Each structure stands twice: as C-alpha cells, then as structure tokens.
C-alpha cells in the first residue's frame, strides 16, 4: 500500500469554496451564451443602428434649424467667397449662347433650342 503524506491530502473545504465561486461567476458571465431568437437579434440590431444614425443626424440639426429660420438662403460656396466672388449669375443670353452654339444631343435639347430661337435668344 502506498502511504499518503500531508502534501498529498487535499483541502476539501478550499476546493468547495473555489467550486462555488466558479459556479457563481459562470451564472453571472457564462462562457457561452444561449443563442437568441431572430426577432430579438433584429431588435438589437435596430437599436444599435438607431444609435448610430442618431449620432450622424445630430451633426446636421443646427444647420437645418438655421436654414429654417433664415428668410433668404445663401448657397455661395466657401471657395467662391475666399476668392472674392459671390454667386456668378448667368444671364439668359449666356445660357442661350451655350445651348444654341452646339448640336442637340437629344430630342429635349432640340426642343429647348427651338424655343430659344423662337424667343429670339
């Protein structure tokens, strides 16, 4: 028969304590979660997407509010303002010369050219 020493003996109370703490931790944070239903997964995805879209939309709220409160909107781009130019207004004659000066690419352009010629532009 083999003799057992004090080193070979196991402290059962300490093992029981370790096992109970491991079980409690496993209940709180399971190693593998149960699969969720498709409906729950879709709802979770909707919640996440809603939060993402809410953050994206939030950056436009001030600009939209400002645009609603303005009586007159200015669509001048920053690059034109930087170069000292405001909005370049093309007269109807400039537009007509651009349209009439080339061959129509479609039936719609042909109708536009005919109307401009009829108007004397």
pLDDT number for residue 50: 95
Tell me how far apart the alpha carbons of residues 51 and 57 are, in angstroms, rounded to a whole number: 10
Domain boundaries, position 91 = 85-121
Which is more confidently placed, 89 or 102? 102
How many domains does the chain divide into? 2
In a domain, 48, yes or no: yes
In a domain, 107, yes or no: yes
Q: pLDDT (tens digit, 9 = 90+) per residue, 18-42?
A: 899 988 888 777 777 778 899 999 9
In a domain, 109, yes or no: yes
In a domain, 118, yes or no: yes
pLDDT number for residue 109: 82
In a domain, 8, yes or no: no
Q: How confident is the model at residue 3 (pLDDT cuts 50, 70, 90)?
A: low
In a domain, 9, yes or no: no
Query: 116 CB contacts (<8 Å, ≥6 apart)?
Result: 96, 99, 100
On whether both 117 and 89 belong to a single domain, the answer is: yes
Angle at the Cα of 29 from the Cα atoms of 26 and 35, rounded to 5 degrees: 100
DSSP assigned state of 33: P
In a domain, 3, yes or no: no
On whether both 93 and 114 belong to a single domain, the answer is: yes
In a domain, 24, yes or no: no
77 close to 67: Cβ distance less than 8 angstroms: no
The model's pTM: 0.33
pLDDT number for residue 39: 94
Query: 1 CB contacts (<8 Å, ≥6 apart)?
Result: none
């Amino acid at each position: 028969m083999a003799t057992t020493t004090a080193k070979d003996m196991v402290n059962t109370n300490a093992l029981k304590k370790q096992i109970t703490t491991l079980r409690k931790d496993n209940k709180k944070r399971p190693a593998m979660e149960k699969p969720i239903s498709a409906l729950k997964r879709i709802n979770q995805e909707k919640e996440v997407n809603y939060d993402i879209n809410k953050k994206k939309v939030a950056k436009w709220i001030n600009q939209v509010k400002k645009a609603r409160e303005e009586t007159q909107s200015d669509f001048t781009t920053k690059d034109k303002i930087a170069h000292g130019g405001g909005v370049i207004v093309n007269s109807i004659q400039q537009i007509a010369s651009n349209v009439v000066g080339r061959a129509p690419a479609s039936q719609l352009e042909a109708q536009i050219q005919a109307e401009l010629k009829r108007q004397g532009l």
